[in-house]
Structure 1
C-alpha cells in the first residue's frame, strides 16, 4: 500500500513501514510539542499525515469535540485518540502497548469513525508578509529635503547643555515659508505632523511643535542602541496591521529554525537567513507605528508578539545572556523604538502589559506619571501574558504568536498548554504538594493575594485532566503545600 502524501499536508516520507491504517497529527506552525511528536514518529518509521490547524481552522471544532482538548498536537491512530505529545511518549515507552497499536495500524483500515483528511481546496491561503507593498509617506520626502536644508546642526543652550543634530522650531518654520511658499501657520502644522508621525521629536520629550527657539531632532539622529534604529519611509500603519505581519514573519522564521525535536532554536541559522533580513526591515516600521489609540486586544497581541520577536532578534545579534548580571542587562537594555519611544523588554512586560506594575527587583514603576508611554500602557494588568512571553530560556513557555482577534482565547489556550506540562505544574498527591513554575511566584501578585488564590487561579485555567482534578481535590481539602520548581535559565539554542 502506498504511503500517504499530500502537497498541503506535511507527511512523513521515505519510511519502510507500510500501514493499512492512518496516523493523523493535528498541529500548528511553530509548536515545539508538535515537532517533538512528529520527530518521534519519524524516528520510529511510522508514516503520518500532519494536518495544520493554521491552514484548516474549520477542522479545529471537530478536533476539540473528538478529543475534549484544545491543545496541540492531537494524535489519532485510525479512530483511536492517542492524545498529545506526552501521551504519545508514554505509549511509545510501553513496548507491548505500542507494538499492539502498530499491529492494528498495519492490518486495519480507518473505520467510519476515524477523522477524515480535509479537502485541500478548503485550506486557508494566508498572505506572506513579504508580499506587503510599502505605501510611501509624503512627509518622508520633506525629511529628505530638511536634511539638505543646512538647519540641522549642533545647538548650545546655556553654558552646559548641547543638542547634537538638532534644529529649532523657528528655523524650521523660516525654511518651510521660504522653500515651500507657505505661511507660518501652515509651517507649524507641518512641524507638528513630523512629531505626530514620529519622524522627529522635541529634544526634551515634549509633544507640541512651536515656532520658537526650541529644539527638535529627527528620530534617526538620536543616539540610541535600539535594535531597530533608523527610519522607514512607509506610511505609518496601525498596530494591528503591522503586528499581524510581524506575527506571520517571526512564526515563519521560528518554525524554519526550530530543531526537529522542538527543543532548540538555531539562532545562528536565523541570523544568516534572508527571512531575518526581511524581518529587520520590517522592524523599522515599528518606529512610527500608531499604537496609542489601539484597542486593549490589539495592544496585547502586538506587544506580546513584539516582545518575543525582540528576544529572538537580540539573541541573534547580541548573543544570549549567560549569567544573572547579563540577564538583568538584557531585559533592561535590549530595546526597540515603538511609536517614537524606546521600550525595553522590561518596559513592554511591566510597563505596558502589566499596567505599569513594578517588575522583579524594580523599586519604581517603569513609567512615571509624565512619561508619554503611560498612554500606551494597559489600564488593567493581564495575568495570562505570563504564559505567552518568551525569555529564550528552557523553562520559558514555548513561543507562539498571537492575533488581536480571539486574543483571550489564544492566551487561555497558552496557559492551559503550559500548566498541562511538567514545566508549569506538578502534583504530588502522596505528599499533598503542588509545585508551580517560578513564574507564578515571581508574579504572584498578578494571580492572587495568597497561595490559595494563586492555586485557585491555576485550577480555573487548567484543561480538564487528572492533574486538574488532583489540584481541585487538594484545594478543597485546604491542606496542601505549595512549592516552586527551579527555573532553568539554560539557553534554548
Structure 2
C-alpha cells in the first residue's frame, strides 16, 4: 500500500515553466509514483533561474530533484532504470529534506522593478494564455484540446483584457520593454488566433494566418508578421515578403527596434509541434532570458545536430530562413551558434569542426504539424 503524501518526509522539486509539455509530463509521472511535487515556476525569478543553471549546468526545463539528488530533465526521468527510480522514491519517502536541497523562491516575485502599463498588461494576458495552455494540455504533453480551451472562463477573461491593448502607450517603451511586450503579445496572439480563426493546416492558410491575425495596439493594427518582422527584426523582410513590413511614412516604424534581435527566434512560438515551450518574458533580465531560450533550443538536436564523423552540422530551418539575422553566411552563422551554446560535448564537437576548416551545413525539414487534439 502506497504511503500518503503526509507521511513522506522528503521533497521532489521540479523547476518548470507554465505550459511546458515536458514539465507537465514529468509532473504527471511523479504524481503516478505517489509523490508530492514542489513545482517551482522559475520564469518570475531571475536570480533563482541563474542559480538552478549553475547547480545543474542546464538551462532547459524541467529540472528534477529528489531531495538533493539531481535527476535531470523529463527524458532522464522517463529513461531511468526502474530499480534506480524506486531507490530515489524510497529515499524521498523515508529521508527528511536535507540542508543542501535545491533552493526555493524567496518572496512573491522576481527582482523586478515597476513595469510600464504595456509590459504589465502583456504579462497578465500571457499568464492567462499559459494557464489555458497548461489546463488543456494532455499529460504526455503532445496534444492540446483547443475546443475545450475556447470554452474556458479564462479565455473569455483573456479576450476582454486583449481589448485593452489599444490603449497602451508604445512610444515610451525601452528596448527591453519592447522585446518582452511584443514577444509576449505575439505568442498570445498565435494561440488566440488558433482558437478564433482555426489552426492553419497548409502553406496558404499559414500565410493568411500570419498576415491577418492581429491586435489593435496603441491605436495601430499589428499582425503577427508586423510584430515579428516589423518590430522585433528591425523592419526586415520576412520569408517570401517582397517589401519591408513598414514604409517610411508608417507610424508603426517608430515602434520598430533600431536593430534586429536574433534571439527572438528562440522565444517566438508559432504553434507548430516543434516549437519550444511557451514562456513569459519580462523586461528585467530579458537578454539573459532570451539567451537561455537560445541555449535550450541549441541543446536540442531538433535545433542543432553536430555529426563529427561526417563533418556535418544540421540546423533548424529557422537558421536558413533568417540567416541574415545571424550574419548572412554559413561561417558567421556557425560562429554565432557556437557563441550561444552552453558548455557541452556538442559545443566541443562544433568548435573542432570549425577549427578543421572543413564543415558541411544542411537544414532539417521543419515540422509544421500542430499539437491540436482533433
Normalised TM-score (structure 2)? 0.89
The Cα offsets for residues 85-113 of structure 1, whole Å up to 9 and x where unpaired, read as 23323x33xx4xx4134235425636846
The Cα offsets for residues 422-465 of structure 1, whole Å up to 9 and x where unpaired, read as 22111222212211111111001101221121111112112222
Given the alignment of the two structures, is residue 47 of structure 1 paired with residue 35 of structure 2, yes or no? yes
Aligned residue in 2 for 1:337: 216
CA distance in 2, matches of 1:439, 1:125: 33
Change (3 A) 1:342 1:104: closer
Larger deviation, residues 379-388 vs 432-441: 432-441
CA distance in 1, matches of 2:122, 2:324: 29
Change (3 A) 1:60 1:442: closer
Given the alignment of the two structures, is residue 109 of structure 1 paired with residue 95 of structure 2, yes or no? yes
**Structure 2: which 5+ runs fail to align?**
111-115
Aligned residue in 2 for 1:401: 280
The Cα offsets for residues 38-67 of structure 1, whole Å up to 9 and x where unpaired, read as 233345x25252331449836445433321
CA distance in 1, matches of 2:226, 2:103: 45
Equivalent residues of 1:350, 1:366 under 8 A apart: yes
SS at 2:13's partner residue? strand
Deviation at 1:387, TM superposition (A): 0.6
Q: Map of 1:336-415 to 2, 5 A cutoff?
A: 336-415=215-294
Indicate the structure whose relative CO is greater, using CA pairs within 8 Å and at least 6 residues apart: 2
Aligned residue in 2 for 1:462: 341
Given the alignment of the two structures, is residue 424 of structure 1 paired with residue 303 of structure 2, yes or no? yes
Q: Map of 1:318-333 to 2, 5 A cutoff?
A: 318-333=197-212
Equivalent residues of 1:19, 1:106 under 8 A apart: no
Equivalent residues of 2:12, 2:65 under 8 A apart: yes
CA distance in 2, matches of 1:335, 1:79: 46
Aligned residue in 2 for 1:64: 53
Change (3 A) 1:385 1:59: closer
CA RMSD of aligned residues (A): 2.5
Change (3 A) 1:401 1:116: closer
Aligned residue in 2 for 1:234: none
Deviation at 1:81, TM superposition (A): 1.7
CA distance in 1, matches of 2:343, 2:26: 21
Q: Map of 1:226-265 to 2, 5 A cutoff?
A: 238-265=117-144
CA distance in 1, matches of 2:49, 2:370: 33
SS at 1:398's partner residue? coil
Deviation at 1:259, TM superposition (A): 2.1
Aligned residue in 2 for 1:100: 84
CA distance in 2, matches of 1:88, 1:371: 51
Aligned residue in 1 for 2:74: 85
Equivalent residues of 2:9, 2:97 under 8 A apart: no
2:163 to 284, 289, 296: 284
Q: Map of 1:30-179 to 2, 5 A cutoff?
A: 30-43=19-32, 45=33, 47-54=35-42, 57=45, 59-89=48-78, 91-92=79-80, 95=81, 98-106=82-90, 109=95, 112=98, 114-115=100-101, 118=104, 122=106, 124=108
Aligned residue in 2 for 1:28: 17
Normalised TM-score (structure 1)? 0.68
Change (3 A) 1:240 1:100: closer
**Structure 1: which 5+ runs fail to align?**
6-17, 127-236
Equivalent residues of 2:30, 2:37 under 8 A apart: no
Aligned residue in 2 for 1:492: 371
Equivalent residues of 2:44, 2:109 under 8 A apart: no
The Cα offsets for residues 190-239 of structure 1, whole Å up to 9 and x where unpaired, read as xxxxxxxxxxxxxxxxxxxxxxxxxxxxxxxxxxxxxxxxxxxxxxx832
Equivalent residues of 2:20, 2:277 under 8 A apart: yes
Equivalent residues of 1:265, 1:492 under 8 A apart: yes
CA distance in 2, matches of 1:25, 1:277: 30
Q: Map of 1:208-223 to 2, 5 A cutoff?
A: none
Equivalent residues of 1:239, 1:291 under 8 A apart: yes
Equivalent residues of 1:80, 1:114 under 8 A apart: no
The Cα offsets for residues 381-437 of structure 1, whole Å up to 9 and x where unpaired, read as 000110111111112222112111111111111111111122211122221221111
Equivalent residues of 1:438, 1:487 under 8 A apart: yes
